[in-house]
Structure 1
């Protein structure tokens, strides 16, 4: 797989075309499954891991509609390529950092990926743009059904699907929605919202899932436990809460526009100005500033700049993507300089230049 070419495009879930996409970045359905004839990953030897990989590869390649899936041997990738796939949300950090035989099958449109030998033998994930949980679940269910015809999953009559982590036992389903909540952060209401979610049995994580920080005001909201509820009930549980959070964010944005318009405009303008003129900038600061600019576009404070462009910059300015786009491995200082140049190219039109040349 040529990651340099892959880096040039933008995944379907990042296009900003789905429902409520001004606030909801993506909807994700993830299913955890294990093969009945093999021990859990933590008890597997290398021969077991290879056997699991071969079993799933044969099953996946036997599905006619999946002939175009891209198969990536994660174990054989250099660290920068593994990081690239993590930044793109196509594999988890756990799969990237694991050892031994492991791979991933990726849909060319990046709507789904099948991770082999992660914490469980198989992690299926489907990602759609915006708030689109039901169709994401429908697609994930079809994938699960196709594989269930071809392999024997570890299943208990009373407990359901057996998984390495007890919180996944039952359906093995994790329903998550990634939201952009800058106004709730600015108005200092975000902790109050999180406490309410935790009381409802929902988890809040950062941009890259479990154990990650909330960078750029991005938060993933997901169910914590899968046992005792059906897949449809879990999708409904998360699906009913997200519109409430969206409404809170919209109210916070309206409050800022009404009560602090000058301060808000100043915040957005300063962020945009720094991104357009900085000579060097870190990925963390870039995410923080892009967050303000993204909100500014949605509130009509910035013209002639589109949300898909900002969504792309969130990913393309991350370390591995930046190096892939540049075609060179770069030290931190050099990445900061290259990131600033990349942002200038895509955010401001220079005299005598056609911005289309840089797309």
Structure 2
């Protein structure tokens, strides 16, 4: 596949709305951090070492490619800055990899559910994504790929500490498991701070939509394990699964309470947001994310019936700064981006309406 395939605004496979508990858990991510024995970590290696590692990992992936594992390889420094930003916005590469100047690359599966980053913070980062809450299944996919690569690559491993990584917080299993959750009711009812504090006590961390250092947009939070040393992979997954299920329960309870006590206020909020998305001529990314969050909650609650969640998922991608400029075909100033963003949203929601009319339905069944 060429790079243009991965720069489209279509929702990737890991955003399928049919995933388990997908009304709250947008996606599951498993990331495994690995380094190659005999080479300095990316924080201190030379360009020559970076190139050697890039070549070794590329050859290893080529040797295991089959119908199940087939990847497209892209060198980061050959990508224009805008294309790197789009890949960050689709969660296919990290913000750190996008800034790399030394030899660094990414290998992507065609359905965008697997992303293998080379020479980011570690030599190798295997990332698997899936829709809804699928921690065990997604880890099994990542572990299978990891085992195949380990047959061809000399991993840096210590009998006492486990897999060695650049950051001490990743030493051990090298496993970072996370779930991306839409938690509007907990946010609206001011309970999210209590949830965040509870998670910190349990050794979990809450981050924004693009991970460490990013902000919360549209009531979307990433919740992941913080400890990788001293726990097995099974224990890490079990702990996060239990936490995720408890948060799902709390969010559902908060939604039921809001619906019971404030239905008219909710209906007004949801429909105003839908009207803004359909008709606004200027829209910031923050406003667009807030409106999409409201409409998504309205769909989940059965109050808004004429919008499909797949359309909202695509809108979540389209509103990002990189995608807006990608579609415009040029670099835009902030005000220009806000106008073009509103235009893209109007077009996407108008297409949603046309699809409903063509099907002769009153609504799009989710």
TM-score normalised according to structure 1 size: 0.95
Residue in 2 aligned with 1:319?
321
> Alpha-carbon deviation of 1:202?
0.5
Distance 1:3 1:184 in 2: 38
For structure 2, list consecutive stretches of 5 or more residues without a partner in the other structure: 359-366
Which of 290, 294, 297 is the equivalent residue of 1:295? 297
* Secondary structure of 1:222's aligned partner: strand
Distance 2:291 2:355 in 1: 25
Which of 56, 74, 98 is the equivalent residue of 2:100? 98
* Secondary structure of 1:36's aligned partner: coil
Alignment of 1:1-359 (within 5 A): 1-3=2-4, 6-65=7-66, 68-348=70-350
Alpha carbons 2:9, 2:314 under 8 Å: kept: no
Distance 1:227 1:10 in 2: 35
> Alpha-carbon deviation of 1:265?
1.1
Alpha-carbon spacing, 1:41–1:311, altered in 2? closer, same or farther (3 Å)? same
Distance 2:229 2:253 in 1: 35
Alpha carbons 2:27, 2:131 under 8 Å: kept: yes
* Secondary structure of 2:43's aligned partner: helix
Distance 1:43 1:356 in 2: 59
TM-score normalised according to structure 2 size: 0.94
Distance 1:2 1:229 in 2: 38
Alpha-carbon spacing, 1:350–1:32, altered in 2? closer, same or farther (3 Å)? closer
Alpha-carbon spacing, 1:337–1:112, altered in 2? closer, same or farther (3 Å)? same
Deviation readout 1:179-230 (Å, 9 max, x if unpaired): 0000000000000111111110000001000111111100011100100111
Return 249-258 or 341-350, whichever deviates more: 341-350
Runs of 4+ in 1 over 4 A off after TM superposition: 353-357
> Alpha-carbon deviation of 1:6?
3.7
Deviation readout 1:27-50 (Å, 9 max, x if unpaired): 000000000020011110111111
